Structure 1
């Protein structure tokens, strides 16, 4: 019989151990060889030549590689990016040596290790949402959108009446929503900001009923601490901040004081980036630090790349393609692609005809590491998420009928 030859792809040590075990290696061998089977690329930005030369020397010495700018050797450049390339085993030895070096490289070694650890993914865990619990990591959760605004881009005005809004929320839960996200201010392109009093007038009558009648956690979609505080006092479970603490940093203190999970969304004015994902990761690191300094545990922080916010259509598509790169932060990821203008531009379709496009973004997002998807069409997207979960190996045969 001819020897068969084929490719195998592993993304983390867990998958590597599984593949090695299939060869017939013993448990000790699997544990020893797994770090050699996982190859990682890590980008460093803003490195001084004196640091870059040491980094390259140490990485080469461990059998890995480090790409630097041509002018690093003779210091003809002020700074450089450094692309590290190596197996987890090589990184292990490299980081041990880097931690002994001067010029701030010991702290850099710690940060590189954090990025590598994040790429391994986190173990599923129960997130306490002020008395209601959601399980993160076992399956893709679906957050149903409930806008009580007259000018939202997709459903503006449809659920401004509190009675209709509560009925709609009940239907979303019946369709499979794991979370309901309530918003009282439109954030569509060209939106008109509303005053705190107006936002409260829109959401509070609805929220009073939702927290009493729905079995799932309710998220308040707001950038205003005063609105969030009133919502928390009424029993809301999660804060969803579309400016990642940049519009109102007091939201961090509120989340910590009330023990509420906090969604930090990436957002900016304009669409200029040095590197899309690199800039986004740095934004999140700063926002996460702000939340932690306020006293919020890291496990209660969720990050959102902000599809449709401060990005062109091409950048939104790139963010979806590169979503796995956010794993370096080690945080659960939420995406909100539902009916967005990028879908309209790609397919040349109006808002009401973007269900299939949304389904594609949900599938790709879930496959690339999104733990929560925020959508309008809950019934359809629950089916897409479950099918994607099954393809990705996140399926309990006895749980779905």
Structure 2
């Protein structure tokens, strides 16, 4: 007789494990929600809300941790840590939906969160005529900077011919899409005028859309740049400010029906929980996008490694990357050659390949759907190996 421990992250895995022991179909259906345990944190509940939440969760067989000041009413608000199986949450949410004090709205949000935590189904992302399958395997986005001052390859691809040659090489190495930018986003960069950004990006873009088979993303936060690029055949916009940099960008992206990457950025240092702040900003970006008519299926989230975060905060985001799943959008991870690698390994920018692919592999294990990199060939190999282990995609032949 042998004993093993099973780590079950979602209902699909639960059903597979229960089926494997020979349970009948009805038994699998009934038991699977009992096999998935979720710990969900709620922040800023008032005392009425917290007391009802705790009472109802306990009544369903789960648990809820609250501040010790809730009992004595010595605090005005509290965070709540919910603990229970999916079956318990379903019953709890049903009861919560009938409660006052804004708890019915909380029940709706919890329902959405539980749905988002399940395995993301494969779907086709329509990049204005070019298609990408999301969820089937990890996609690799190649970085192409038409800038003189980017930290890694500044000045190398200002010439459209050189940029086109590099794009061809990245596609040959396995890139699924190319991200073209005309403004450096490195710390301490100097902002450039709109006219200069257009002068850098458009000549390169015109060559790329003629010869490159994969979708071309434009790395910009400016609505006029996005409009000009989409008019010339760009397929996607990668916004460095999650729709907070230019109020007109969402409308432009919606009009052209393009996918949009929302990246976390900030103008002030994060002093609280780095993941809560990151998800708050990205969640607000999702709301802005949907209000402008951009469907959620066209949104991709980037936690913004290296942007407005300390070294330790960057590492923490990488450790907790799977928490982004509650927002229900694919995740793009961009760590390529960044300072978090430099500070860990004490290496110059041209010797950070191993650090980059290590973060890519761990990011894929934590749910990243797209990795944005300079070193495409190495990353594609790491992604395929990671997919073979995690997703069951052996890439044979």
SS at match of 2:72: coil
The answer to which of 25-34 and 271-280 deviates more is 271-280
Is 1:273–1:279's contact at 8 Å kept on the other side of the alignment?
A: no
Indicate the residue corresponding to 1:371 in structure 2.
Answer: 369
Is 1:323–1:369's contact at 8 Å kept on the other side of the alignment?
A: yes
1:162-241 aligned at under 5 Å gives the runs 162-241=160-239
Counterpart selection for 1:134 from 115, 132, 139: 132
Counterpart selection for 1:77 from 75, 79, 82: 75
Indicate the residue corresponding to 1:24 in structure 2.
Answer: 22
Indicate the residue corresponding to 1:86 in structure 2.
Answer: 84
Indicate the residue corresponding to 2:143 in structure 1.
Answer: 145
SS at match of 2:116: helix
Indicate the residue corresponding to 1:390 in structure 2.
Answer: 388
- What is the deviation of 1:313? 1.4
Residues in 1 aligned to 2:387 and 2:268: alpha-carbon distance in whole angstroms: 35
- What is the deviation of 1:394? 3.4
Question: Root-mean-square deviation (CA), in Å?
Answer: 0.9
Q: Please list every run of 5 or more consecutive structure 1 residues that lacks an aligned counterpart in the other structure.
A: none
The answer to which of 178-187 and 278-287 deviates more is 278-287
Indicate the residue corresponding to 2:50 in structure 1.
Answer: 52
Q: Which runs of 4+ in 1 moved over 3 A?
A: none
Indicate the residue corresponding to 1:357 in structure 2.
Answer: 355
- What is the deviation of 1:15? 0.2
Residues in 2 aligned to 1:109 and 1:364: alpha-carbon distance in whole angstroms: 32
TM norm structure 2: 0.99
Residues in 2 aligned to 1:85 and 1:367: alpha-carbon distance in whole angstroms: 24
Q: Cα–Cα, structure 1 residues 372 and 81, in superposed 2: closer, same or farther, change >3 Å?
A: same
Residues in 1 aligned to 2:116 and 2:70: alpha-carbon distance in whole angstroms: 29
> What is the number of residues matched between the two proteins?
397
The answer to which of 110-119 and 374-383 deviates more is 110-119
Residues in 2 aligned to 1:299 and 1:275: alpha-carbon distance in whole angstroms: 28
Is 2:137–2:391's contact at 8 Å kept on the other side of the alignment?
A: no
TM norm structure 1: 0.98
Cα deviation, 1:324-372, whole Å, max 9, x if unaligned, reads 1010111000010100000000001010100000010000011110000
Q: Please list every run of 5 or more consecutive structure 2 residues that lacks an aligned counterpart in the other structure.
A: none
Is 1:121–1:327's contact at 8 Å kept on the other side of the alignment?
A: no
Residues in 1 aligned to 2:371 and 2:58: alpha-carbon distance in whole angstroms: 41
Residues in 2 aligned to 1:249 and 1:217: alpha-carbon distance in whole angstroms: 25
Residues in 2 aligned to 1:67 and 1:283: alpha-carbon distance in whole angstroms: 26
Indicate the residue corresponding to 2:259 in structure 1.
Answer: 261
